Amino acid sequence: MIKHYLTIIFRTLMQQKMRSVLSVLCITAGLICFSLCSYYYYVFTNADKTLSTYDRLVVIRSQSSIRHYIGLPHEEFKKIEEIAGDAIEAKNAEFSFKGIYVTSSNDRYSVTGSITTSDYFKLYPTRLVEGRWEDFNEEFNQAVVTTEFMKRFADKDVKIGSTIKLSDIDYQIVAIVEPYEVGVNLNLVPGQVFLTAPCVRERVEKHGFSYLMKPGVDLKVINERLKAGKWGDSPDLTPCFYWKSEDQLTNAMPLYLAVLGLLILLIALINYFSFSVGAFVNRMNTIRLRQSLGGKAFHLWGWLCGEQCVIILASLLITLLATESIFPMVMSYFSLFAQGELYVDLGTLLRMQLQIGGYLFLLPIVISAVTVHRVMKYLHGSGLSGRQSRGSLVLRNVLQTFQLFITLGFISGIIAISAAMDHSFEEKFPSLTEEDQENLIPFSISARSEEMQQHRAEIIRALKQGAWCESVSEYAYGHIIDMKPGEATTLLVDETFLDQVHVERKHHQGEIFAYVTKEFDESFRIRRDSAFQKVWYEGVDYPIVGQHQHYVSYNKQLVLLPLPLSIKHTNGYIKLKDGCNRAEALKEIDAILNKYYPVNEPYVVESLFEKEMTGYILMKNLFIVCAVLAILITLLGLYQSISLDTERRQKEVTIRKINGAKKMVIYRLFGRRYIVLLSIAFVLSLPVSGFILVLSKYSYEFNVMTVSIFTLPLLITILVVGLTIGWKIWKIAQINPAEVIKSE
């Protein structure tokens, strides 16, 4: 019985080799896209749930909202803990750490982790491999490292009790632990080292403590006690305990990613199941013959369900193989920044793909049952007419309209992000020309590398000596100036920087100066009163001599001041000469800078535009991938649809041509349905695309909404759809009626 089913299923699939292969590839693309996007959503929403302490973790926020952080001095936290009493089992303060580890062979590696307190592993438990928890305390500079750190970075002689140097500070290893799962404590890249030092508890004012409560604690009772205390006149200053589970997914971007992936998978599934059901109905003669020979509805259901399950199984296997073997190779072509931002734990991703695949097998069971029920009802009620029912055509039209609608949305997103990217850069750097965007190359004298700071002069000299170099400037971020009632950001710059960003000089070489933005003048009105024509910074009065338009900081109240010679950690711009060999120049800059950067995280040499717009570029590339997949899957679906239509209506075309119908009539007969579907999809995409763009500004600043955002996607879609279905319609319009009659 099973062998008979499998024989029929594989024989049917082999008769339609090309369509079967295309269906598998479409679903595979949808599965990979959805599983990747779902992975990031899972990381930011569910990873902490694997912890045994998850339901007992709490944080302190303002009484007004869990999103409102409050800064409290160390003494205030002691007061909160006294009010909570013995309900608290452990507490922890932590700060993200990213440092450089230098091996005995002088290799540099970038490592990540946390500077934390001794209770960290009570709140976030993991398996202890070697050492004792009791030895980890903040009285000394100590480190707990993961097994991953020991395998990838540590020298062979490093063990418990050894001292390692991280960012020029010595730490003693007191324990080795298993690494955390990706996403725990909202860390996309799992920490490799956990450090403690005497200064940790004194630095909690900005970040605060996290707490582990004892089982059965009622937070409402504790919060009522806190509310009764004296914390200030505003509810924003009153502390309140919240379960950490309430503080998940503060950024909507992971949810957007999951939705994008789901849309791609939906398009792929709609494409396949629409074709599968259409092809099944087109085999009506075979179905009726099987029914007359005693075939039951259950047998037909097994036939159709088996075909669909085989396609999904093949897609799932290819997805797993591609993820395991091809995905790491593809990721290696991304920039190191992108690899860090898009870090993926393959084990977790493969498990998610298996779960998604398991759910997908439910679809053939339901869809095939509904299809067989409708087909049997149609056969019993109307007999064999050779045409699909109106209901099935309506369903297919709706599904294809949905595919076109999603495709239009993705193309609109690409155009919108491109426009917003250009607008954002122009708004931030209005004084720079298009040539400056490409010719200014940012660089940084890393604050994490003492050796690089010591060789700063040598590095600058090597950059200036390059045949491709026109000039090299330096700048550093200064302290915030309290202007009362607002604040201003300071940028300490050299004379060359002013020339590179086109600041009109109002001072002589060597004189002290202060250049301010127009917004600075308007906000603080300093120069409207002759008594306030200077900016006071670190005990020195700097005369305001002019304005500038270089908003390197998003705070537009920006003051440019002279760069002191004492500063070691600086950033800067390398300006390339017009017409130089750009690829060769970037290669030489890379060689100069990366002598001092970690092996696993070298400095990425790129233009100012690429550096500043990294987030936009990542989002644009994501939309491009989704748009390409959506277009390919939709076009394959349309091609399969027009192929089924032309096969099913071949006799009708023959009769029309015998009765004198011209080719234009045939073109309208098949083409008008797709024109109507595309028109409906475009009309639906107008308000929805606009709404999505407006919502998206909370994650990315989509400020530009031009007509091209909506018209260009329509033109692109018309072109690709027209080319896809046009050839098939032209082919059937050329059909010779005599050949069709002869074949019948």
State the sign of the Cα–Cα–Cα–Cα dihedral 544, 548, 554, 556.
Answer: positive
What DSSP designation does 202 have? Answer: G
Section 71-81 average pLDDT: 79
pLDDT in tens, 267-311: 888 878 877 777 776 666 666 666 665 666 777 777 778 888 888
Length of the chain: 744
Report the pLDDT value the prediction gives residue 72, as an integer from 0 to 100.
72
The DSSP H or E segment spanning 169 is strand 169-177
pTM of this prediction? 0.73
Helix, coil or strand: residue 562:
strand
Mean local confidence (pLDDT), 463-473: 94
Where residue 47 falls (left for φ over 0; alpha for ψ -120 to 50; beta otherwise) is alpha
CB 678 within 8 A of CB 404: yes
DSSP label at 576?
Answer: E
3-state secondary structure of 156: coil
Q: Is the pLDDT of residue 204 over 70?
A: no
Other C-beta atoms closer than 10 Å to the C-beta of 457 total 8
In the predicted structure, residue 81 carries a pLDDT above the cut 70: yes
Q: Which helix (H) or strand (E) holds 644?
A: helix 614-648
Q: Which two tokens stand for residue 156?
A: 């062979």
Q: 334-386: per-residue pLDDT in tens? A: 655 556 556 777 888 888 899 999 999 998 888 888 877 776 666 554 444 44
Token output for 210: 């996290």
Q: Which of 126-135, 290-299, 486-495, 715-724 has the lowest mean pLDDT?
A: 290-299
Query: Measured between alpha carbons, how far is 498 from 496 in angstroms, rounded to an integer?
Result: 5
What is the full DSSP assignment across 243-261? EGGGG---SSHHHHHHHHH
How would residue 458 be classed by pLDDT, with cut points 50, 70 and 90?
very high
Q: Tell me the per-residue pLDDT of 110-123, one tens digit each, with 9 for 90 and over.
A: 888 888 888 889 99
Percentage with pLDDT > 70 across the chain? 81
- 512-569 confidence digits (pLDDT tens): 999 988 888 777 655 454 445 788 888 888 988 888 887 776 567 788 889 988 887 8
Residue 389 pLDDT greater than 50, yes or no? no
Query: How large is the average pLDDT for residues 589-610?
Result: 87
Distance CA 129, CA 451 (A): 34
* Res 704: pLDDT: 46
Task: Tell me the pairing of strands 487-493 and 514-516.
Answer: unpaired
- Cβ-Cβ contacts under 8 Å for 226 (sequence gap 6 or more): 63, 80, 83, 238, 239, 240, 241
Give the count of beta carbons closer than 10 Å to the beta carbon of residue 483. 16
DSSP structural state of residue 178: P
- Closest by Cα among 633, 644, 2, 4 to 276: 644
In this predicted structure, the answer to whether residue 260 has a pLDDT above a threshold of 60 is yes
What is the mean predicted confidence (pLDDT) over 154-166? 89
Rounded average pLDDT over 571-580 = 92
**Contact present, 360 and 316 (Cβ < 8 Å):** yes
- Give pLDDT, residue 282: 64
Instruction: Name which of 630, 688, 613 is nearest 410 in CA terms.
Output: 630
Residue 542 β-bridge partners: 535
Whether the CB-CB separation of 162 and 151 falls below 8 Å is answered with: no
Map residue 701 onto helix, strand or coil.
coil
More confident residue, 81 or 331: 81
390 confidence band (pLDDT: 50, 70, 90):
very low
Give the dihedral of Cα atoms 163, 166, 171, 173; nearest 10 deg.
-60
| CA 589 – CA 695 distance, rounded (Å) | 40
Phi, psi of 511 (to 5 degrees): -80, 150
Tokens at 235, concatenated: 């509810």
* Angle (CA) 734 739 743, round 5°: 135
**Which H, E and C letters describe 307-358, residue by residue?**
HHHHHHHHHHHHHHHHHHHCHHHHHCCCCHHHHHHCCCCHHHHHHHHHHHHH
Within 533-666, strands assigned E span 534-537, 540-547, 558-562, 571-576
Q: What average pLDDT does this structure show over 695-714?
A: 55
pLDDT score recorded for residue 698: 40
Counting runs of H as helices and runs of E as strands, what totals does the chain give?
Answer: 26, 20
Q: In the predicted model, what is the mean pLDDT of residues 134-147?
A: 86
In angstroms, the Cα distances linking 423 to 419, 547, 704 are 6, 22, 7
Tally of CB atoms within 10 A around 381? 8
Average pLDDT over residues 632-637: 79
Crossing angle for the helix pair 390-428 and 663-696, to the nearest 10 degrees:
50
pLDDT band at 176 (very low <50, low <70, confident <90, very high): very high
Q: Which residue has the tokens 């369900």?
A: 305
513 in Cβ contact with 542 (< 8 Å): yes
Indicate the pLDDT class of residue 328, thresholds 50, 70 and 90: confident
| Backbone φ and ψ of 533, nearest 5° | -115, 20
**Residue for token pair 């009726």:** 288
CA distances for 595 relative to 107, 249, 589, angstroms: 10, 39, 10
Mean pLDDT, residues 35-58 taken together: 82
Amino acid at 654: T
The confidence score (pLDDT) of residue 581 equals: 92
Q: Which residue has the tokens 């008594």?
A: 531
Per-residue model confidence (pLDDT) at position 175: 94
The region that residue 383 occupies, defined by phi over 0 for left and psi between -120 and 50 for alpha, beta otherwise, is left
Q: What is the rounded distance in angstroms from the CA atom of residue 480 to the CA atom of residue 491?
A: 10
According to the model, what pLDDT value does residue 128 have?
Answer: 93
pLDDT-derived band at 213, boundaries 50, 70, 90: very high
